A and B are shown apart, each in its own frame.
Chain A
Amino acid sequence: MTTHVQDFLAQARVVTRDLRHRGLIQTALRKYETARDRKKAAFGDWQSARQAAAETKWDAINHLDTYLAEFADKMEARGTKVHWAGNAADAREIILGIIKSKGARSIIKSKAMTAEEIHLNDAMEKAGYEVVESDLGEFIVQLRHEPPYHIVFPAMHLTRDDINELFQKELGSASTREPEELTMIARRALRKKYITADIGITGANFAIAETGMISITENEGNARLTAALPKTMITLVGIEKILPKLEDLALFLPMLATSGAGQTLTGYNTMYGGPRQPGECDGPEEYHVVLLDNRRTELLADPEQRDALHCIRCGACLNVCPIFKNVGGHTYGTTYSGPVGSVITPHLRGLQDWKHLSGSSSLCGACTEACPVKIDLHHHLLQNRRNAAVDEPSFFERLAYRLFAFVINRPGLYRFAKEAGRLTERLQKLIRNTPVDPARAWTATRDLPPMPEQSFKEWWEERR
């Protein structure tokens, strides 16, 4: 057993027994579901829109070389410096290099899952820079020294009381139970940071090839400020975020808003195509875009699961997943949690270390149904299980199946095994769920299905 599995099991055991925690998550997700269903109903034809989104992303991903080159050329033509990062270390080095060359001290950041993926904050803090997360949820988890709980709702595991306590301790604010007051405390604390920050770092939801722009979706306006005030702006974006045309956003922005948070459209959807242009009165003097591969090309090389790169990180699959709802976001121990995280993490961080995530699934298919770009998520979980078994077959599993095949091909032996099974069942009852029970891994939490009174063959012979 690797430590990742042990961590997962241990953490899952804690969270599934924490009824308060599960209640909090499930209340939040019920609110989300109600809002999402209402917004989905406003679509003329949600299923056709999904199909169009899937096809557009298919086009983008299956011609990624062309679109990515077009994106970079268009960006550079308007004064943006485009960097290509093969892996996490490259990306950190590029970004730290920019920060150093600017002689910067303080950095303001808007939400970016890619930055979580490459542990950018740690790297910047270790290098002695002050980094402040500006998205409210991210700001809260940063103060707690925790990773985000959910890719869209980073602080959904906390109550207002938890946040109040945190703000009193870390910011010295007055006690309050009002979400509005708490938000204003953060607003005041962060306003100063925007104005004094030397560098603004953002993520991106889409990268538009046709016009050479990135698009950022947010509700709070923190990314708008991050992109407006500091003198240098850096955007870290995964290479799979490409969309061919600007007007594709007319489809993707409403789908992201609806699937992501049950909104018609998110508060701010902003496209950036360069640094401050001649004749413009503000905006950064320098703009850097860092394109991140970090093993995305390995997932691309698997045609069976290539569509996992269609993901627009809306979080819809997390929100409907019975596993996510009960084990919670931190249990996964990954940057991307929930069904899509379970599918892609084995590709990004190693199949054998992360194959257990593909096992922690009920294969109910709710994720596939919820996905706005029609990623075949639950089948990919099965494919990961298969790939893991083919890669590193388990000795005991193979032995068990050989034995089974041997027995079932020999009628006399099969009859004997059946009778032996009945006897064993009676004996097993005496030791069920005790330390000497060999089936304890199963019987500790479930009933063992009883053997039927009669086999089919016996039943048939009786009636003939």
Chain B
Amino acid sequence: MTGREKILGRIREALTVPAPKPGAHGHEAPHTSFNGRPVHVARGWMPPGGDTFEEQVARFRAASVELKTDFRFVGSREEVFSELARIRDTEGWKSVATHRAELPSAAAASLGLPLIHTDEGYDVDALEACDVGVSGCDVLVAQTGTVVVTNSSAGGRALSVLPPHHVVVATRDQLVRDLTAAFAQVQERYGASYPSMISFITGPSRTGDIERILVLGAHGPKKLTVLCF
């Protein structure tokens, strides 16, 4: 018998005796899942994401302030590039990593600095030495201030965590209300051929492991900038 059959057999044997459904101390409660309920009902229990676009931007902004994400919502693509140039000057960037997607590669190229494109193959040490990684994303989540990236939308697994500063460029139609909407979009976009990684990034890398005091940049980026137009 294989390990699989052995364990599944043990599980089936254990489950022959039913367990009381959850509720207060074994009292019966109707069994439906979070999904089984109408979406608007289940959503109502969670932290709010905002009903209108303006509310959602305000939510994303408020979450960003708390998370110490640098969120800039601007009017046009050109303004995204000029914001990026301003950050380059204050931070003194010398090298940039990005990937071959229209918006992020155009934004990175506009900086006029040496470039690495991760999806053309890269050297880990060279990527680690870059001052900034500029990537696209799948969606922005208003409810939590989250950026959703995948291998395919953000130039692989390492680009969004290895350089000390991660810049996300996004368009306004990528902003969604909440996590439920974000998962729905990801499922719709990729169908059965998911990228091997889907990451929900909420703020720059952080730790509280020393006396519960917040420190940014534990292992991943110390700074996260979201530029959206």
Q: Which residues of A contact B (CB under 8 A)?
A: 28, 31-32, 39, 42-46, 48-49, 51-59, 61-65, 68-69, 72, 78, 82-86, 90, 134-137, 140, 153-156, 158-160, 163, 179-180, 182-184, 186-187, 190-191, 195, 211, 213, 219-222, 224-225, 227-229, 239, 244-251, 253-254, 261, 264-277, 279-283, 287, 291, 293, 297-298, 300-301, 303-304, 306-307, 310, 374, 376, 379
Give the interface size class of chain B.
35 or more
Q: Does B119 lie within 8 Å of A268, measured CB to CB?
A: no
Known: A58-B21, A274-B196, A277-B196. A45 touches B45 (CB 8 A): yes
Cα-based distance from A156 to B209 in the complex (angstroms): 7
How does the 8 Å CB contact mask read for B183-218 relative to A, with 1 for contact and 0 for none?
110110000001111111111111111111101011
Q: Does A267 lie within 8 Å of B205, measured CB to CB?
A: yes
Q: Does B2 make an interface contact (CB < 8 A)? A: yes
Of B12, B125, B180, B212, most A-chain CB atoms within 10 Å? B212
Partner of A250, one of B34, B63, B124, B196: B34
Q: Can you pick out 12 interface pairs between chain A and chain B where the beta carbons lie within 8 Å of each other?
A: A31-B212, A62-B19, A68-B11, A72-B4, A84-B7, A155-B210, A195-B128, A213-B198, A248-B35, A249-B179, A251-B42, A293-B10
CB distance from B32 to the nearest CB of A (A): 7
Residues of chain A with a CB closer than 8 A to B184's CB: 247
CB distance from A34 to the nearest CB of B (A): 11
Residues of chain B with a CB closer than 8 A to A187's CB: 217-219
Q: Does A267 lie within 8 Å of B202, measured CB to CB?
A: yes
Q: Does B225 make an interface contact (CB < 8 A)? A: no
Q: Does B128 lie within 8 Å of A281, measured CB to CB?
A: no
Q: Does A224 lie within 8 Å of B199, measured CB to CB?
A: yes
Cα-based distance from A269 to B146 in the complex (angstroms): 10
Cα-based distance from A79 to B19 in the complex (angstroms): 35
Residues of chain B with a CB closer than 8 A to A63's CB: 15
The interface stretch among B81-89, B107-115, B152-160 is: B152-160
Known: A31-B212, A72-B4, A229-B158. A300 touches B151 (CB 8 A): no
Q: Does B213 lie within 8 Å of A253, measured CB to CB?
A: no
**A-B contact number at CB 8 A:** 308
Residues of chain A with a CB closer than 8 A to B124's CB: 195, 229
Residues of chain B with a CB closer than 8 A to A293's CB: 7, 10
Q: Does A281 lie within 8 Å of B119, measured CB to CB?
A: yes
Q: Which residues of B contact A (CB under 8 A)?
A: 2-4, 6-8, 10-15, 17-23, 25-26, 29, 31-35, 37, 42-48, 63, 66, 99, 118-122, 124-125, 128, 143-146, 151-152, 155-158, 160-162, 178-180, 182-184, 186-187, 194-213, 215, 217-221
Partner of A179, one of B31, B125, B215, B217: B215
The DSSP consensus for interface residues of chain B is: loop
Q: Which are the 9 A-B pairs with shortest beta-carbon distances?
A: A221-B220, A84-B3, A220-B218, A228-B157, A301-B14, A137-B209, A54-B22, A250-B179, A300-B14
Question: 14 other contacts beyond A64-B11, A254-B144, with CB at 8 A cut-off?
Answer: A58-B19, A59-B33, A65-B11, A160-B211, A219-B218, A220-B206, A246-B183, A250-B180, A267-B201, A280-B151, A281-B119, A282-B156, A283-B151, A379-B25
Residues of chain B with a CB closer than 8 A to A49's CB: 45-46
Cα-based distance from A247 to B185 in the complex (angstroms): 11
Q: Does B157 lie within 8 Å of A179, measured CB to CB?
A: no
Of B162, B203, B217, B219, most A-chain CB atoms within 10 Å? B219
Partner of B11, one of A272, A297, A379: A297
Q: Does A221 lie within 8 Å of B161, measured CB to CB?
A: yes
Cα-based distance from A31 to B186 in the complex (angstroms): 35
